[in-house]
Chains A and B, each alone.
Chain A
Amino acid sequence: MSEQKPTVAIGLLSGCFGCLMSFLDLADDLAEVFNLIEFRRCPFNDVRELEHVTVGMLEGALSTDHDMKLAKEMREKCDVLVSLGTCPSYGGIPGMRNFQDSKTICEDVYGRRVPDDEELPQLLPAVVTLASVVKVDYFIRGCPPTTEKIKETLVAILEGKKVPEKTRNLCVECPRTKESILTPRRGFLTQGVRSVMELDEIDPTRCFLEQGVVCMGLVTVEGCNARCLGDNMPCRGCMGPVPGVPSQGNKLIDAVATLIPSGALMFFEDSVGIAFRYTHAADESMRK
């Protein structure tokens, strides 16, 4: 056994373990990975101390002071830091708590008796992205990232290479066909905004926007194989924006505004909760 195997540490911030499940889905390839690298502090073994490692991966959002401490410590102790998944990269779903301030959340939840033991982590005022706190070397996007993407990135890191960046939107991977959306017309594409459950038939081959259902695909970066679209469900944007687009959410709302009669926007329930679902914490335009 070689002594020089690259070492890997994994830290869990306020997340859900989903990215690590995607890693475990390597299944039969796990043996190969176990041979290539050596795990130090990670949720799969009993190592508690964070020693210096080659690669550090962080999953979850930065939501508490404990998360913040772990993120900084990890940066210090690793050569290459990976932001694993959409949470550390954009705030992800936990970033939706930024709709309210943390004090309101605590009081709503616990009343006047907010738990205050010194062992408990304290909430940050808002969820922030990892890159806003420390330097990040690699981003693996997606909620969850695909198993292939995790493997590809790990291999690239070990070989000291860059991972080619995806630059197009999800429509290029989507199996559905567009027709009326591409035809010049004076009228609007659809009369209103509907939810999938309300459709008489969910057409599995036609663009969701043409069926009156909001799909985030056109403002979301490619790379997930359009899994949801294949399952007859619209995209919710978990991969984050196309590079160069500062606000995935605003871009979506703009797009929808051009497709439906302007008054119908009023009937687009919870446009912010859909358009900014995964990027609220990263979006400058959402700062209070």
Chain B
Amino acid sequence: MEKLKISPVSRIEGEGQITIYVDDNGNIERARFQMLEFRGFEEFLKQRPIWEMPLITSKICGICPIPHHLAAVKAAEAALGVSEIPPLAIKLRKLLLDGGSIQDHALHFIYLAFPDFVFDASEVKPEKRSVIGLFKDYPDLVKKGIFLRKFGVTLAEAVGGHSIYPTTAIPGGMSRPIDEQKRTQLLDMLDEALQYAEETAKLAWKATVGLSKKYPANFSSKFMGLSRDGNCAHYDGSIVVIDEAGKVNSRFEADDYEVYIEESVERDSWGKFPFLKKQGVRDGVYRVGPMARLNIAESINGESATKWLAKYKELAGKKPNQHLFSYHLARCIELVSHLEAVGQVLQDQNITGKEVRTPVQRAAGEGVGAVEAPRGTLIHHYRCNDKGVVEYANLIVPTTHNNFALNASLAEVAEEVVKDGKLDDRGTQRMEMAVRAYDPCLSCATHAWTPDKKNGAQIKIVRTSEQEEMR
């Protein structure tokens, strides 16, 4: 057997590689996206106080620290038996999540993914295929990207303290309110940000439609995401799974995730492979992230985003969008939606009110918290003793949910671009474009894993024959 390697995969968040395993007859046996980092969070989260979880788990990821911060605080509140926090604190947390997603989506689409749409690797040098190269040829676009990020970062700082590693969400609410000056500063920036987001969505539309026609993809899956009464939700809601036809497959509260999701281990990846328990490994493959959320959503926040959602839905007829490049479009539609939602909330002067927390005492308990991170559904699960010390921790991150799907997409592209056991520059770029569509976050995915000892669940070992069928 031969191996083709792309290492490191460029323009993604973290150090990873693609390995394509080619058999002696030159056929693609499988393709793997492999992460080259290891950290081991779930192990050292144990023995730490549960109120420290929002501060430690935000360090899992420098790109999406905010969803970790919030999933952790929600899980901690559930474990400590906090049934209610001030409504203002919930509003602030939603704003914080919006700010994080705005900067994240802008970063991914413009800084990391966009160079692929204009710089073909068979013609353009690797140094140039970057945001720096973009800056020379498309300075306006990059400036817009910088501004969108700046808006997201400013918002996240206003609410969360730092934008990289927020600190203000604590069990019971927020450690401090936001101030009026920040509110007006953000409102002043809002129109410009909205205009740029709108333009970005148009670019994404063009890129998505063009690329999907040029490079058809057949891989299809189920989708998972949070939804509240049919509305695209990020901070709260139930977890909804839809099937390939768009019908609801299951709907459950985050607390029950173990009933619905199982994880398998394969020998060539540090990351585990979750699937829907009921359907089993073969049929239980699902995807999360912007494409999943919009496929599931019947409605979305914001006037313009609502129009975009309708256009998005038309793309695939009555069925869910399945093409991996639809991720880009969905991401940018969300960008518009987040900004519109932020505008509505910031118009309200009461957002600077002072009632943002209620005191919470340490207690024994167990709790699950789920939020939608930019890349998809994020689940934190803790159990603590009466001193508040964590005894069990389990985290399922978006990049892991997408593990099966990402590898399947890679195998599909590999079939097309690997010729005579070789990969040229454009083929390499095509492989990487598949990875980038999913926007994997390696920092998150390499935080490490703990099997569910509490219920004695078995890790399922996937055999090669099953892998074959999955492809």
Contacts and interface: CB of A to CB of B under 8 A. Distances in A.
Given A21-B164, A45-B126, A233-B175, A64 B38 contact: yes
A110 B269 contact: no
Interface stretch (B3-11, B186-194, B218-226, B416-424): B3-11
B199 interface: no
Contacts of B128: 45
A120 B360 contact: no
Contact of A195 (B6, B49, B126, B269): B49
Contacts of B43: 97, 99-100, 105, 108-109
Contacts of A111: 265, 451, 459
Contact of B132 (A13, A34, A233): A34
B40 interface: yes
Given A43-B12, A97-B44, A198-B361, A20 B62 contact: yes
Contact of B7 (A48, A96, A200, A227): A48
Interface string B169-204: 011100110000000000000000000000000000
B165 A270 contact: no
B163 interface: yes
A231 B175 contact: yes
Nearest to B453: A108
Contact of A44 (B11, B56, B429): B11
A45 B36 contact: no
A22 to B, nearest CB: 6
Contacts of B39: 14, 61, 63, 93-94, 97
B59 A44 contact: no
Interface string A23-37: 011011011001000
B389 A269 contact: yes
Interface residues of A, number: 77
B167 interface: yes
A177 B179 CA distance: 21
B31 to A, nearest CB: 12
Contacts of B270: 115, 120
B387 interface: yes
A55 to B, nearest CB: 16
Interface in B262-319: 265-270
Contacts of A38: 127
Nearest to B32: A119
Nearest to B49: A269
A43 to B, nearest CB: 7
Interface string B82-108: 000000000000000000000000010
B62 A17 contact: yes
Given A63-B39, A231-B167, A233-B167, A202 B175 contact: yes
B403 interface: no
Interface stretch (B14-22, B235-243, B248-256, B365-373): B14-22
A70 B34 CA distance: 16
Contacts of B228: none
B176 A15 contact: no
Contact of B59 (A16, A108, A198): A16
Contacts of A117: 34, 267-269
A64 B11 contact: no
Contact of B37 (A60, A100, A109): A60
B51 interface: yes
Contacts of A97: 39-40, 43-44
A40 B135 contact: no
A111 B449 CA distance: 11
Given A115-B269, A119-B19, A14 B446 contact: yes
Interface string A220-243: 000000011011110010000000
B165 A109 contact: no
Nearest to B55: A236
Q: Which 6 A-B pairs have the closest CB atoms?
A: A18-B62, A45-B130, A231-B161, A117-B268, A46-B126, A16-B443
12 contacts: A11-B15, A13-B15, A16-B443, A21-B164, A24-B107, A45-B130, A46-B11, A48-B7, A113-B459, A119-B5, A228-B162, A231-B175
Interface of B: 3, 5-8, 10-15, 17, 19, 32, 34, 36-40, 42-44, 47-49, 51-52, 55-56, 59-63, 65, 107, 111-112, 121, 126-133, 135, 146, 149-150, 153, 160-165, 167-168, 170-172, 175-176, 265-270, 357, 359-362, 387-389, 429, 432, 443, 446, 448-451, 459, 461
Given A27-B149, A113-B267, 14 more contacts: A13-B15, A15-B443, A18-B65, A18-B164, A39-B130, A43-B12, A43-B14, A46-B432, A105-B40, A108-B451, A117-B267, A121-B36, A198-B359, A270-B52
